[in-house]
């Protein structure tokens, strides 16, 4: 018994080491994994690191009475300038006290005005005395001016002409000043309208859980972006170069909160300010010390079997694996987790992380185990199916083999011309994986496969077959022969029509059984009743017979 206990953990550890060796061998950057037996292809997307660090950033907007409509009713009721009041019953005693207070204030103001009028009269008398002295001084100066020379008079005339010109220019300057002031006011009003229109749209999006940074100005967006990059210590080596950095940072938003702070809670120099609207954004960023996951896009190719078009079912759209601890994640509907894995390997919410096991079809394919969990589903028929993988890898499927032509491109000819003397015939099997050579085109009946220029770090092809892992750089791989070699794993998934038919049959069966059950119950009860009456009659007859015998015996003895 002890030997068995020792052997079992040894086998478990051995299988784990085997899986780890396979994982480190299979999963790497820029790899395309093919499982030809099921027509499943894993196309490398990038590295994914779960976001576990939260960074927050707040934007503050001063609010004026013109922006009261952005506030909730509970906050707007407490601000008199918003003119939004609750319906409350006012007491007459308060009105009387207010009237008395107003009368007392009016009396005090009238007394103060009387005192100020007396002081004003004294000041007027003082000004009159000053003006009389100034008049005498002017007369003396007039006598002195009369003695001015002719040259001084000419200078005075020139000064008068200059003054006239200045007087004529002043109205023009006043008009220009008024126009500039009007233009400045219009620009400020336009900026105010634009800022609050963007703010309204942003609040609407945030309330719909559509997180955005559109409420910020371009300068503020730049500050937020670089602040998140600095605090999160972010690097962008794994992101496509065509994706803007601001779009990457926006994708990291996980929550936004809107708060209103009343003017009574802080000090401000603006008398028109009623409060401040604060929008706090929370960003989820990955930790640099975490081990990333390899993310793959899963593609299934339909194939023809027994006059029907079927493909592998119950397969997620994206799948990720950590080759160190063999944990996995999968996305059936990436948009539910705030993911757009076509553009960047980042999600607002991280899906559940599971350890790899044998309870799903995909895990059995990865571990190259017998396919007991895999199912197929029928799809609408088509003349051919084409799926594009990374770089120049293509997968094609048709009901029969296709005769195609491999055409090299020529830089000296137009796109409508081809060099037919250098063409090469290609025969594509019913299901095939095609690696189109760079600078060539494979023309088939109904579709064309183009070999685009690729980077030097081209993806490698890994083929999973039985217990083998093959790395090949092939031109055409016959996938159909692998599918037809072992058809025992094919299990047809029940279609919706078949499910409805089965449910209807079960309902009819239940209806018939419920109809027959009362009749059988009634017959059973009726039989029990007859049997009871029969026993009762038999007992009564037996008792009567015994009674008659005893009575007859007694009469004979007498």
pLDDT single digits (tens) 198-232: 788 888 888 888 888 888 888 888 999 899 888 88
Q: Which residue has the higher pLDDT, 143 or 277?
A: 277
Q: Which of 484, 480, 298 is closest to 387 using CA atoms? A: 298
Q: Which of 33, 34, 36, 40 is closest to 483 using CA atoms? A: 36
pLDDT over threshold 80, residue 406: yes
Could you tell me the residue range of the domain that residue 465 belongs to? 30-50+290-485
Q: Say what the pLDDT of residue 2 is.
A: 40
pLDDT over threshold 70, residue 337: no
pLDDT over threshold 90, residue 234: no
- Going by pLDDT thresholds of 50, 70 and 90, the confidence category of residue 85 is low
Q: What is the C-alpha end-to-end distance of the chain, expressed in Å?
A: 91
pLDDT over threshold 90, residue 440: no
Q: Is residue 20 part of a domain?
A: no
Q: Which residue has the higher pLDDT, 346 or 484?
A: 484
Q: Is residue 194 part of a domain?
A: no
- Mean of pLDDT values over 229-237: 76
Q: Which residue has the higher pLDDT, 98 or 171?
A: 171
Report the distance separating Cα 233 and Cα 235, nearest Å. Answer: 7
Q: Is residue 413 part of a domain?
A: yes
Which of 100-104, 365-369, 425-429 is the least confident region?
A: 100-104
**Is the pTM of the predicted complex or chain greater than 0.75?**
no
- The percentage of the chain sitting over the pLDDT mark of 90, rounded to a whole number, equals 6
Q: Which residue has the tokens 């015998």?
A: 549
- Mean of pLDDT values over 145-150: 60
User: What does residue 80 show for φ and ψ, rounded to 5 degrees?
Assistant: -60, -35
Separation of CA 301 from chain center: 28
pLDDT over threshold 70, residue 496: no
- Going by pLDDT thresholds of 50, 70 and 90, the confidence category of residue 349 is confident
User: What does residue 373 show for φ and ψ, rounded to 5 degrees?
Assistant: -105, 0
pLDDT over threshold 60, residue 556: yes
Which residues are paired to 468 by β-bridges?
A: 465
CA distances from 76 to 67, 198, 230, 273, 372 (A): 10, 21, 38, 13, 64
pLDDT over threshold 80, residue 400: yes
- Going by pLDDT thresholds of 50, 70 and 90, the confidence category of residue 386 is very high
Contact 449, 442 (CB under 8 A): yes
pLDDT over threshold 70, residue 44: yes
Q: Say what the pLDDT of residue 194 is.
A: 64
Q: Is residue 76 part of a domain?
A: no
Q: Say what the pLDDT of residue 160 is.
A: 84
Q: Is residue 25 part of a domain?
A: no
pLDDT over threshold 60, residue 169: yes
Q: Is residue 157 part of a domain?
A: no
Q: Say what the pLDDT of residue 385 is.
A: 92
Which of 187-191, 331-335, 374-378 is the least confident region?
A: 187-191
Handedness of CA 219, 222, 226, 227 (dihedral sign): positive
HEC-encoded secondary structure of 9-30: HHHHHHHHHHHHHHHHHHCCCC
pLDDT over threshold 50, residue 57: yes
Q: Where are the beta strands (DSSP E) in 287-390?
A: 293-300, 303-304, 309-312, 318-322, 327-331, 354-355, 376-378, 384-388
Contact 202, 279 (CB under 8 A): yes
Q: Is residue 218 part of a domain?
A: no
Q: Which of 60, 72, 78, 68 is closest to 272 using CA atoms? A: 68
Q: Say what the pLDDT of residue 26 is.
A: 79
Q: Is residue 133 part of a domain?
A: no
Q: Which residue has the higher pLDDT, 354 or 287?
A: 354
Q: Say what the pLDDT of residue 245 is.
A: 81
SS3 48: strand
Q: Which residue has the tokens 């076509």?
A: 342
- Going by pLDDT thresholds of 50, 70 and 90, the confidence category of residue 557 is low
Total tally of structural domains belonging to the chain: 1
Which residues are paired to 262 by β-bridges?
A: 275
Q: Which residue has the higher pLDDT, 468 or 226?
A: 226
Which residues are paired to 462 by β-bridges?
A: 33, 471
Q: Say what the pLDDT of residue 336 is.
A: 66
pLDDT over threshold 90, residue 191: no
Q: Say what the pLDDT of residue 4 is.
A: 39
pLDDT over threshold 90, residue 396: yes
- Report the mean per-residue pLDDT for the chain: 76
Q: Which residue has the tokens 């926006």?
A: 250
């Amino acid at each position: 018994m002890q030997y068995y206990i020792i052997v079992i953990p040894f086998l478990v550890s051995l299988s784990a080491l085997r899986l780890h060796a396979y994982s480190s061998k299979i999963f790497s950057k820029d790899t395309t994994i093919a499982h030809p037996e099921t027509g499943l292809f894993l196309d490398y997307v990038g590295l994914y690191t779960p976001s576990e660090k939260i960074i927050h950033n707040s934007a503050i907007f001063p609010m004026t009475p013109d922006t009261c409509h952005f506030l909730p009713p509970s906050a707007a009721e407490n601000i008199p300038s918003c003119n939004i009041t609750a319906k409350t019953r006012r007491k007459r005693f308060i009105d009387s006290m207010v009237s008395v207070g107003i009368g007392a204030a009016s009396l005090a103001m009238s007394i103060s005005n009387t005192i100020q009028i007396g002081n004003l009269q004294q000041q007027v008398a003082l000004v009159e005395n000053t003006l009389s002295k100034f008049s005498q001084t002017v007369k003396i100066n007039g006598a002195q001016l009369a003695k001015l020379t002719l040259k001084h008079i000419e200078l005075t005339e020139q000064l008068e002409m200059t003054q006239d010109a200045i007087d004529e220019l002043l109205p023009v300057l006043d008009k220009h000043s008024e126009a500039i002031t009007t233009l400045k006011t219009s620009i400020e009003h336009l900026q105010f309208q634009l800022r609050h229109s963007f703010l309204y749209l942003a609040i609407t999006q945030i309330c719909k859980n559509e997180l955005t940074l559109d409420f910020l100005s371009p300068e503020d967006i730049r500050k937020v972006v670089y602040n998140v990059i600095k605090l999160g210590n972010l690097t962008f080596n794994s992101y496509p170069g065509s994706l803007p950095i601001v779009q990457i940072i926006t994708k990291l938003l996980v929550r936004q909160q809107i708060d209103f702070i009343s003017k009574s809670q802080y000090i401000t120099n603006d008398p028109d300010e009623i409060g401040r609207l604060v929008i706090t954004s929370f960003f989820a960023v990955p930790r640099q010390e975490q081990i990333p996951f390899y993310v793959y896009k899963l593609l299934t190719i339909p194939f023809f079997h027994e006059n029907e078009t079927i493909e592998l079912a119950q397969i997620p759209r994206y799948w990720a694996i950590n080759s160190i601890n063999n944990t996995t994640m999968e996305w059936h509907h990436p948009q539910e987790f705030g993911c757009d894995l076509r553009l960047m390997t980042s999600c607002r919410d991280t899906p559940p992380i599971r350890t790899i096991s044998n309870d799903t079809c995909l895990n059995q394919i990865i571990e190259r185990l017998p396919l007991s969990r895999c199912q197929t589903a029928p799809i609408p028929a088509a003349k051919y199916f084409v799926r594009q993988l990374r770089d120049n890898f293509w997968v094609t499927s048709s009901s029969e083999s296709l005769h195609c032509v491999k055409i090299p491109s020529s830089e000296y000819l137009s796109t409508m011309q081809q060099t037919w003397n250098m063409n090469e015939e290609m025969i594509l099997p019913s299901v095939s994986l095609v690696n189109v050579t760079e600078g060539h085109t494979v023309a088939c009946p109904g579709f064309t496969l183009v070999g685009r220029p690729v980077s030097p770090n081209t993806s490698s092809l890994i083929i999973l077959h039985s217990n083998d892992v093959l790395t090949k750089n092939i031109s055409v791989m016959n996938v159909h022969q692998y599918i037809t070699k072992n058809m025992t794993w094919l299990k047809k998934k029940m279609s919706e029509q078949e499910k409805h038919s089965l449910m209807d049959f079960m309902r009819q069966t239940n209806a018939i059984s419920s109809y027959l059950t009362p009749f059988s119950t009634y017959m059973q009860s009726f039989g029990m009743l007859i049997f009871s009456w029969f026993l009762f009659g038999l007992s009564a007859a037996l008792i009567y017979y015994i009674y008659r015998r005893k009575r007859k015996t007694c009469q004979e003895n007498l």
